[in-house]
Structure 1
């Protein structure tokens, strides 16, 4: 587990030094985006932001309404207004793809090393239909890339970063080197990160180490009034700990390939084309990086593969602020997970058996106005298909799993359905105030694990609640009704963006007791689950849920070089069908930073406050958590026009605390008690050197 440096700030808190709409830094800027040129667009430029963590999900988690689901140093998920996992549309360089691990050890932002991130785009609240289906907001990590220059000859560019963190003795090296002219660009990217086990007040979190290498190349060519870009990237994650899971990463080897075109083809016609492929190869086990089982008979190694192919076309007819956009996209996936015992070649079984899926969609979206009111409305239609093959089992697999495999083989293992999404946004300029209102009807289909996991295992798609889960072939699609209201206020010295939101989700998919008699083992599923240590397994099922709350970010130029910035977030998430709360929901929290900012340097301090969380899920056996307050320091110095140094101190007073979203320890022999919630980092210093130019 890797807890973020206190000063890996939210876009709005860490950086009082930069005006709200200042020049973007080429290294790391977060752009919180609703729609460009609408009331939900916010560009927060972070030319002095300090980011210590290798996990890009932690950077997103600093935005108002967001939080980090911390499942390991490189396995963080974004929670946004209570939703996480597949509920959030997360992409890297605009590319959609399926993660390899059934426990989401490699969520999408696993593939965005911070040394290579140029910016992160967050669709606040509602993601537009042109980006695909999904009931939560959208996140896109944009990696560094060569830019076309103004000259006719190739000019060199560089963007390099090196950093060190004391809390886990970790370091990072990486960046971009490129050649570009006005018509051609060529670039290579590379990064390497490695860290040891994380220290906390009282000891060390065992199996929280990490190691990751990423290399890639891209080329671009101006074609008429557009540009064509081809990119390839290879990422190799080596042994990396996941304390909230029953296994750790041994490797995740992934290849990304993408070809895209965008440009003006005629007056008022703007075309975008994209095609890509992602191949994930993943191995996890329960003995190489942690204290393993006493008997080799209980050793497990799981091999998981995922292949995703995508293609999309979009045509905008009109101008940037008055247009109709039409488009279509297709996505195909193939997934497989094979559980083995390395000490026994005859023991193997495919818990996810060659699952193939496809989605074909089309959308129409319009940007229009009604007098002083601006609007963006859109709708999309998608056809989905999924199918699973018969499980494969070795001769050493016992009778219980064989009975379940036979039943799954005899069932209808194919599924198809159609979904419709509709969104509408409205806003208006009234002096310094911009009121905004959004409505949406959004859908999500069950993923491969939720629908086709016939074998009860600890794989839960990253929930990490310690329960054993089994899927359900008859799951219905999730259907969300969404409403938001808020306003943006800005004058020469102050800005604020409060938002109220509500989501009513019918057929929300989560774990429920397997049958009406939990604890009474009278079914083969319960028998197998009991053999694996859980006599009360859960099955994925449709329930009714609702999410509501508020979030805010603000900034105040107090006077001279003194600035104050902050965020606050509150979300309430509960079941509507029974009296229970939803699992792993961030408690109310706020951040406040004060900074003294000069042209070439700035210094500041930040406070983070988290309330207790006692609205926990009884279904998931969730434990409540206490509130806490943390303090940190940060600073930045521009040594030259191209060289800068950043430094920070996390958890300044070395306080022992536990983040409610951190997960529970599953590693024996750690300084953290087995089954206890994982603690946050102790006092830790971070330093980073950045160089841009050539």
Structure 2
């Protein structure tokens, strides 16, 4: 039975026209590269591309994790997702990666940084949740593998990702200085972190500076423009010990972070980043109350964001200049109590969004993109987890109440464009307040067959609400939360809650020198929210005035996703190890004959690691299949498959570490299916062309610890 998931993967991938050719090509690259390594007696590698942490116990589950130290050089934490099973990145720019898990992406994936789910300012998700993670302060990126428990977050229909950051620690004086450089794009990063503490007071300080001075290049030596950026982040945490010892079981802490991004390109979106300035504050505490563990936090974020279509890219003479000034304020709070088998909690998220579009060359032009939009959620959950004979059961219930509203809007062209005035009047006269209640039910089970083998089962019914863009985008625009499909959309205020029925089956097998963890899953989603062809003649007329003959509108449809992901490793000898990770997902509409938009293609990652003493080397081959199951409704283009080879070498001493490597060793020219389409004119790439992946990229990282 353990082999059935592997056979399923084989049958599914054989349906792809180019997949076998890609595999042969990729494996031949791998063979040649290994031979070159052995011939030259050079050690090339890094730590394993991913580490899998499987934990069962009180209110735990199955997790996969990746650390910044175990990866190649990255500009954004989202790049680490490529090393976790079932995950992918919708790349809208070097700093604008949107998490995808098993075909679901965006707001459907619960993404927390330092335990927080705070709203960004960008209506097109230029400041994605993962962009707020500090490179120097991040310890690891955790992914709940499979069906996320209700305790993982409020909205977990698409899974749960958590950036685990360093916390101020008592009785410790330590620090880290790290730097990295990537040749493709002339990208550099330097970061520093220090912890200063005694047994009662602890102070953590950190800072990041990162910059890309030139545009990245594809394997065909074409400039991917604009992809320069300038980003900085500073922060810190003070923690006060409330206990008699330094065990940190009772403390209170306050944290602060300031992020500033300027002059950053997002070539698949209609505008680039002029600036993002965000301040975040978090107050938190942990306490022992009798036999209960109490944890709580209250956080606030103030985000400001400017973007335009003329600073980083050359604007066509016949195109209008546009500047979007957006801002958001958001609150996130939670309180949980835990005792033995029970975990109970309350969560609240409140946010307000504003976005105004102007034309610097025409002072009278002004459009309310979003005005006084409020998006609030209150929820409560209960979770029970217990060992019963050979079973470990986890049962959870979360009830959540969504409340959204928006202010009236205005458009300076309403007086001369009847279609726009009609849409504006409709919107302003409508009841924009929406209120909905959702319920999540989760059951996860693990059966321990032998000490080496366990079976995994998960069942869930989960609900999620529409994003504020999907509800309140009132005039055809591309402010869609980062869809990057080049289409204009309008929202629908009364969208129903998405309701997903989820099933997962899997196994975990671990011997001394071999491990295998396959998973298969099915998600049947009623009232799935996506774009459909607009039929309202007023919407169509307004879109044509702005140059789009085929506008879209958000609507509830029916969908289904199914697939599998698998990880495996084999210790060949004391120094050599093989690892493998593969994933496949298919997303389809159930109401019509069509596929879902922007689904990651099948992928296989094979790695060979060599370790001796402080030296660690890795060579990996990545094979990505063609993706021809695309959304006809959203005019999505198919993409071809490709194979890549990456090399790395590291030396990790007690107090310092140096690592170097090459990504895309053979400078392969390929298209990244999840990277969207070029929206920039007057570059080496044609407008509407699928964005190519980056070509050969040599990099080096270093770290000093004290």
Aligned partners of 1:211, 1:565: CA distance in 2, in Å? 36
What residue is the counterpart of 1:442 in the other structure? 462
User: What's the counterpart of residue 499 of structure 2?
Assistant: 479
- Distance change in 2, residues 1:453/1:527 (3 Å): same
How big is the shift at 1:295? 4.6
User: Equivalent residue for 2:31?
Assistant: none
Q: Which residue of 2 aligns with 1:548?
A: 562
Is the CA contact 2:149–2:396 (under 8 Å) kept in the aligned structure 1? yes
TM-score normalised by the chain length of structure 2: 0.90
Q: What secondary structure, in the 3-state scheme, does the structure 2 residue paired with 1:58 have?
A: helix
User: What is the rounded CA distance, in whole Å, between the counterparts of 2:57 and 2:282 in structure 1?
Assistant: 24
Does 2:651 correspond to 1:651?
A: no
Choose the corresponding residue for 1:221, options 234, 240, 258: 240
Secondary structure of the structure 2 residue equivalent to 1:661: helix
Instruction: Please give the alpha-carbon distance, in whole angstroms, between the structure 2 residues aligned to 1:187 and 1:30.
Output: 27
Match of 2:148 in 1: 127
Which of these residues, 259, 265, 272, is aligned with residue 248 of structure 1? 272
Query: Which of the residues 613, 625, 636 maps onto 1:622?
Result: 636
Indicate whether 1:137 and 2:156 are aligned. no
Asked whether the 8 Å contact 1:167–1:685 carries over to 2, the reply is yes
Find the aligned partners of 1:361 and 1:126 in 2 and give their Cα distance.
Answer: 19
**Alignment gaps of 5+ in structure 1:** 1-5, 7-14, 20-27, 150-154, 516-521
Asked whether 1:610 is paired with 2:624, we answer yes
Residue among 72, 85, 88 paired with 1:67: 88
Q: 1:147 Cα shift?
A: 2.0
Query: What do residues 201-236 of structure 1 show as CA deviations (whole Å, max 9, x unaligned)?
Result: 232111111111000121111212412111000000
Q: Does 123-132 or 607-616 show the bigger shift? A: 123-132
Do the aligned partners of residues 368 and 280 (structure 1) sit closer, same or farther apart at CA in structure 2, a change above 3 Å counting?
A: same
Distance in 2 of aligned mates of 1:174 and 1:168: 19
Alignment of 1:388 with 2:406, yes or no, is yes
Structure 1 position 546, deviation (Å): 0.3
**Alignment counterpart, residue 433 of structure 2, candidates 389, 414, 421:** 414
Change (3 A) 1:45 1:624: closer
State the partner residue of 1:96.
117
Q: 1:545 to 1:29 in 2, by over 3 A?
A: closer
Partner of 1:210: 229
What RMSD, in angstroms, separates the aligned Cα atoms of the two structures? Answer: 2.1
Which structure shows the bigger proportion of residues in helix conformation? 2
Residues 385, 160 of structure 1: alpha-carbon distance in 2 compared, 3 angstrom cutoff: same
Quote how far apart the aligned CAs of 1:49 are: 1.4
**Contact 1:34 1:124 (8 Å CA) reproduced:** no
- 1:199 deviates by 1.3
TM-superposed CA distance for 1:311, in Å, is: 1.5
Q: State whether residues 29 and 118 of structure 1, in contact with CA within 8 Å, keep that contact through their aligned partners in structure 2.
A: no
1:183 Cα deviation from its structure 2 partner: 2.5
Is the Cα contact below 8 Å between 1:33 and 1:123 reproduced in 2? no
| Kept in 2: contact 1:206–1:669 (CA 8 A) | no
Once residues 695 and 133 of structure 2 are traced to their aligned partners in structure 1, the CA distance between those partners, rounded to angstroms, is: 25
Q: Aligned-pair distance for 1:45?
A: 6.9
Matched, 1:290 2:313: yes
1:341 aligned residue (359, 382, 385) = 359
TM-score by length of 1: 0.91
The reply to whether residue 166 of structure 1 matches residue 183 of structure 2 is: yes
Q: How many residues are aligned here? A: 655
Q: Which residue of 2 aligns with 1:678?
A: 691
Q: Return closer, same or farther for 1:348/1:650 CA change in 2, 3 Å cut-off.
A: same
Report whether the alignment pairs 1:274 with 2:297. Answer: yes
1:407–1:390 CA distance, 2 compared to 1 (3 A): same
Displacement of 1:398 in angstroms is: 3.9
In structure 2, relative to structure 1, the CA distance for the partners of 1:480 and 1:34 (3 Å cut) is farther
- Match status 1:156 vs 2:178: no
